[in-house]
Amino acid sequence: MSAANALPRFNLPMAPRDFLARHWQRSPLFMAGAASGLAHPDADTLAGLALEPEVESRLIRGAGNGPWHLEQGPLEEQRFSELGDRDWTLLIQSVDHYLTEVSLLLDDFGFVPGWRLDDIMISYAAEGGSVGPHFDQYDVFLIQATGQRHWQVGPKCDEHSRLRGDVPLKMLAHMPIEQEYTAGPGDVLYLPPGVAHHGVALDSECITWSVGFRAPDYRDLLAEMVAETLADTDEQLHADPGRAPVEDAGELSADDREAMLDRAFGLLDRGAAGRALARWLSTPRQTGLDFLIDPAHIRAAEPATALIRHGGARLLCHGDTAWLNGEPWPLNQGQKPLARLLARQRRYRHDELAEVLNADSRDLLNHWIDQGYFAEF
């Protein structure tokens, strides 16, 4: 298979157990030549995505001490002819949602639960292009697709790390350099949450894929759980029959306080909270399935492929339920093997499907195909 026809792949250069024990959320790791099949999308395709109103895109211009400028998409086509040859970066969020072929890379991250994956952001940078020294709050694999990028890696940061106040970006005011790498095509840099880093394009062929992971904020999860509980709860008014007279009307007594807290917290139903959690984890960053799957390249690269999951479809299984883009689908015993196969990967061979398809599961799959979540070859 030629490199031009290859699908995106990532090969972890050590046993997953060792990576998770030594590096995951602990320390950076540079992996030379660990990725391949990254010829698509090219710079023109990324620029085309930036023109679409439903696509989240950013244009960052600047270098060194600045000045720095940030523009939010969608962009106008003529904007690219005005940018010059240096010091700008285009970032496209959730490219895996819009270009299903890109999403197939995520199958190679099966050493962590699928709900932990967030999206693939792809950047194109002209020579000198950068987003400045910064840190992210989530795990990230930075994969060099084309061109070269120089990476500087610094210490772990937190909310107390000092940021520059003169730029429209969350850019560190100072970043001590602890490690340096020059990434070429296929090289991968893993960074745990909070680790400072600064990447600069060394040429005008620089395209970098960024595989980001979800780090659920428990405040958001609690809000979702409360909302799910209250949606199924009738009005609950305070009542206190048989109350004795109080000595001080201006005081909130300990008994009243505890009684009201018990009643309020008692409304939080664990079943409803679990539904809220599954709904939240199975909801993609972007909504809608706006970009169709073009199977031609996938079929040429892997003829045995029979079915592909749309890049904008998030699927997870829990017990007797499959959660697809935030919606629950009760499963019978005949449907569970199919749902579990579809949830753990994104492309499926004929022989894999033959093992799990029966009358019940075929009906379910056909329904999901009709809704656009899967494409059958």
pLDDT, position 303: 86
pLDDT in tens, 264-297: 999 999 999 999 999 999 999 887 766 656 777 7
pLDDT in tens, 51-107: 999 999 999 999 998 899 999 999 999 999 999 999 999 999 999 999 999 999 999
pLDDT, position 2: 53
What kind and span of H or E run contains 263?
Answer: helix 254-266
**Cβ(83)–Cβ(125) below 8 Å:** no
Alpha carbons 371 and 38: distance in angstroms, whole number = 29
For residue 344, with 0-12 CB atoms within 10 Å meaning exposed, 13-18 middle and 19 or more buried, which class applies? middle
- The HSE-up count of residue 358 (CA atoms within 13 Å, CB side) is 10
**Cβ(91)–Cβ(129) below 8 Å:** no
Q: In the chain, what are the domains? A: 9-213 (2.60.120.650), 218-236+254-271 (no CATH), 296-376 (3.40.366.30)
* CA neighbor of 320 nearest in space, from 341, 336, 334: 336
* Cβ burial 99-123 (10 Å sphere, 16+ → b, else e): bbbbbbbbbbbeeeebbebbbbbbb
**Cβ(108)–Cβ(82) below 8 Å:** no
Alpha carbons 289 and 100: distance in angstroms, whole number = 10
**Cβ(109)–Cβ(34) below 8 Å:** no
Cβ count within 10 A of residue 58: 19
pLDDT, position 4: 58
Task: Report residue 318 as tokens.
Answer: 């829990």
Task: Report residue 217 as tokens.
Answer: 């904020």
